[in-house]
Amino acid sequence: MDKDLFLRWLLRKRRLKSKVAYDTVSRCKRIESILGQTLESAVASQGAFEAGLTEIKRIRPQYNDLLYAMRLYAMFKNSKLDAKRYARAISQAR
């Protein structure tokens, strides 16, 4: 994960407050640990991205902030992904 570029993107493009941006980067490091792979691999394709989100939801169902952090990283790293599609699927299943 390219922490420095991602942090700058969060601060400048997404206009997140400093604490929120740093927390998001920290969550992304936790996601890499949970998935056992880099976030670059997890957002390389739509299938890999959705599989990663599903795995996080399975292991840590109460941690929606991790899902949000991963979606933000997907938007940063691979703009071709539909990062909102998975969120819609979860909300419709509830």
Q: Categorize the per-residue pLDDT at 86 as very low, low, confident or very high, splitting at 50, 70 and 90.
A: low
pLDDT of 94 reads 44
At residue 64, what is the residue type?
N
Number of residues that make up the chain: 94
Q: What is d(CA 17, CA 1) in angstroms, rounded to the nearest whole number?
A: 20
pLDDT of 84 reads 77
Q: What is the dihedral sign for C-alpha 79, 44, 28, 55?
A: positive
pLDDT tens for 51-82 read 999 999 999 888 889 999 999 999 999 888 88
pLDDT of 8 reads 97
Q: What is d(CA 45, CA 4) in angstroms, rounded to the nearest whole number?
A: 23
Query: For the range 11-17, what are the long-range contacts, defined as Cβ-Cβ under 8 Å and sequence gap of 24 or more?
Result: 14/72
Q: Categorize the per-residue pLDDT at 32 as very low, low, confident or very high, splitting at 50, 70 and 90.
A: very high
